[in-house]
Each structure stands twice: as structure tokens, then as C-alpha cells.
Amino acid sequence: MVFDAYWWDSGPPSLRHVLREIILAWREEFPHDDLTLVMRTKAARPERDLLPGPVRVARTALWPQAFAATWAVRRVARRAGADLVLTHNFAARAPGAVSAVYLHDVLFRTNPEWFTLTERAYFSLMTRWVSRADVVFTSSRSEAARITKFSRARRVCPVGLGLSTELVARNMLEDADPRLQGSRYFLTVGRLNVRKNLQHTVLAALQSGELSPQTPLVIVGEADGKLGLVDRQCRDAVTSGAVIFTGFVSEARLRWLYRNASLFLFLSLGEGFGMPPLEAAYFGAPLLVSDLPVFRETLGTRARYVDPTHITTIARAIAASTVPRQRGDAFDPGELAQEHNWQTIVRAMRTIASESRTSPTKRRKSTS
């Protein structure tokens, strides 16, 4: 098995998270599989206690990840006589092996206005090269349908995403934010770009009458692409302390923020999956999210839904959602963790890859 591990120790947090979780769960579930990880030249070798067993590391200086995932992985797979190659976002040709790619989303095809020209040019390689793969894995049925519609993928299989193993581990410490202890606050988490709809989120929170320096909106994440927070009211809210940007936070701090939030807001304009609402739900936070098909699919009755483009509607929903309730009374977090489990996901991936090896693949609609 040859795995694309380009983002093993650094890079976009969501990509790094998925890549590591798949590799670690694969090693746990299939300890006898011979794994080769294709990593960047300067990347640290995986710790032996973290990834025990027979693991080889092949290095590549190719940049960016699209070329490492395709050319370097193919070369290593040929030399190793691999049965399976797994890359992320960019599919590799792998003669003699099953070629699989985990494609996170193709939102740039449906909503190019959310991305820079450079991003669109780079991401276009995802759909141009996807026909190289025997099977395309993705996170949701909604995204599988989009990939099928906007690419020549042969087979698209939604296998889901698991909750962060580190985040939901039992007996893990929590790191309280001293600015927020004893206070009510709203929370949103994610990469900060125009798609996350932060300007409407802030304006709606202000219009609700619930936002103030004493009850702030806490925004966790790092800037990524177009941001779009340009309204003067938004800038004034940041200056006054009614809006707090934390940047990156540790898992211990994030755990505390989720557990103590009065309301978790996720008013994104579009998602392939959207993990933060599930994480917030696990820790018992009340949820107000965009009314998107993918959230109806992943969250069901665990959230309240709202049109993310209508500020007044969002403001009313925020005001209505601040009625006190007993936290964590909606469902069992253990049930959520069972639904979004990395071991289950890699077992499904391995089964599907084995089927692809024994039967020719045809282009077809997404499967569940």
C-alpha cells in the first residue's frame, strides 16, 4: 500500500487531519499491510510509537502537493509493486495497482466566486485528473453527487469523515480561555474565507441584540483565501471586543470552547462535509447552521437550520436559540462518535478498493 502523506506534519489543518487519521486507523485495523508513505523531503518521520509495524518512508522534493501526489506516488508504487495507492484530491495513475483518491470537494466548480484565480487554476487539476482513479472516496452523499456531476470520475463512494481522535479522546485535559471563563459567548470554527460567510454571521449576531463585549462571538481559525469581512460594523465589533479572533488554538482549548459555548454558529455558504458542527455537537453545544443538504445529511435533528444569506432570519434564529437549556440533552455523544468512526471508514475503503481490483470499474452515479 502506497499512501500520499504529503501533509503528514504540516499544511492545511483539515487535509492534514484527514490524511493522518486515515493512515493511523489503517495501521490499527490492518497491522499486516505493508505501508509506504510518500512524504516531503524535510518532513519528520512518523514516530514509532504512533505508527508501529512495517512502515516505509519514501521522500519527494516535488511541489506542490498535486505533483507529489501524482508523479512521486506513481513512481514509488511502481517500484514497490503496490496493490493500492491512495492520494488526496489529485489522482495518480498506478499501473498494476488500484488507484484511489480521497477528493474532499469540488466546490470551485459550482461556486468559482469563492476562490481566487490561482486557487481555481490549481484545483482544476482535481477534476481533470480524477479519471485516473479506479475509485474516488469522499465525505458525504451530497459531495459524491457533485463530484459525479462535474467530473469524469469512474466510481464515487461517500465513506464519511471521523471525529478527531485526539479531540474526543477520553480523559483529555481542557484549557480554559481566561477571557471567557464565567461568560456567555457564541462560537464559530473553521478556515477563514469568504465561503464561511463571516460577515453575515457577525452582522446577524449584532442585529439579534445578543452580541456585546460581555457576550462576544469567538471566531476560531486561520485566514485561508478570500476572507470577505469588510463591513464597517464588523470592524467596529472587532475593535470593541464583541468579536474575538483567536487564530489557531490547541485541541485542549478547542475542547473547552466547544463545551462551554452558549451557541455554535456555522453559517457557511457551501461545504463538502463541514466537521466543526459535528465536533460542537459532540461536546453538547446548541447548533445553528446553514440549511444545506450536506448538513441535513450529517446533522439531522441535532441542529436548527437557517438561510445563510438572510441576515434578519439569522438574527431572529440567534435570539431564539439563546433560551437556556440543559446542555447535552439532545443526544448521546457516544452515538455520534460511533457514526463518525475512522476505523469503520478505513474498513469500508479497503473493501471498496478490493472490489475495484477484482472487477472493472465503470463511470456511474455515486453510491452510498
Write down the pLDDT at residue 364: 45
Residue 194 in any domain: the answer is yes
pLDDT band at 125 (very low <50, low <70, confident <90, very high): very high
For residues 351 and 303, membership in a common domain is answered with no
Given this model, what pLDDT does residue 357 score?
Answer: 77
Same domain for 10 and 155?
yes
| Domain co-membership, 235 together with 319 | yes
Please give the backbone phi and psi of residue 319, each rounded to the nearest 5 degrees, phi first.
Answer: -60, -40
CATH code of the domain covering residue 118: 3.40.50.2000
Indicate the number of domains in the chain: 2
pLDDT confidence of residue 358: 66
Q: Are residues 6 and 82 in the same domain?
A: yes
Evaluate whether residue 170 is within a structural domain: no
- The backbone region for 312, taken as left when phi is positive above 0, alpha when psi lies in -120 to 50, beta otherwise, is alpha
153 and 21, same structural domain?
yes
The domain of 151 spans: 2-162+341-358
Q: Within this chain, do residues 141 and 233 fall inside the same structural domain, yes or no? A: no
For the segment 277-301, the average pLDDT, to the nearest whole number, is 96
- What's residue 36's pLDDT? 96
Q: Are residues 271 and 138 in the same domain?
A: no
Report, as an integer, the average pLDDT of 309-327: 83
* pLDDT exceeds cutoff 90 at 342: yes
Backbone φ/ψ region at 138: left (φ over 0), alpha (ψ -120 to 50), beta = beta
How far is the C-alpha of 46 from the C-alpha of 316, rounded, in Å? 49
Q: Mind spelling out the 3-state secondary structure of the chain?
A: CEEECCCCCCCCHHHHHHHHHHHHHHHHHCCCCCEEEEEECCCCCCCCCCCCCCEEEEEECCCCHHHHHHHHHHHHHHHHCCCEEEEECCCCCCCCCEEEEECCCCHHHHCHHHCCHHHHHHHHHHHHHHHHCCEEEECCHHHHHHHHHHCCCCCEEECCCCCCCCCCCCCCCCCCCCCCCCCCCEEEECCECHHHCHHHHHHHHHHCCCCECCECEEEECCECCCCCCCCHHHHHHHHHCCEEEEECCCHHHHHHHHHHCCEEEECCCCCCCCHHHHHHHHCCCCEEEECCHHHHHHHHHHCEEECCCCHHHHHHHHHHHCCCCCCCCCCCHHHHHHHCCHHHHHHHHHHHHHHHHHCCCCCCCCCC
Query: Residue 50 domain-assigned?
Result: yes
Q: Is 180 within the bounds of a domain?
A: no
Q: Which amino acid is at 160?
A: G
Q: What pLDDT is stored for residue 333 in this prediction? A: 85
Specify if 366 maps to a domain.
no
Q: Is the pLDDT of residue 363 over 50?
A: no
Average pLDDT over residues 297-316: 96
Q: 141 and 227 share a domain?
A: no
pTM: 0.92
pLDDT value at residue 225: 54
Q: Is residue 171 part of a domain?
A: no
57 and 23 within one domain: yes
| Shared-domain flag, residues 212 and 129 | no
Task: State the average pLDDT over residues 44-73.
Answer: 89
pLDDT band with cut points at 50, 70 and 90 for residue 356: confident
* Percent of the chain whose predicted confidence (pLDDT) is above 70: 92
In a domain, 208, yes or no: yes
Share of the chain above pLDDT 90, in %: 77
Average pLDDT over residues 16-23: 95
The answer to whether residue 178 sits within a structural domain is: no
Q: Are both 60 and 137 inside the same structural domain?
A: yes
Q: Are residues 124 and 192 in the same domain?
A: no
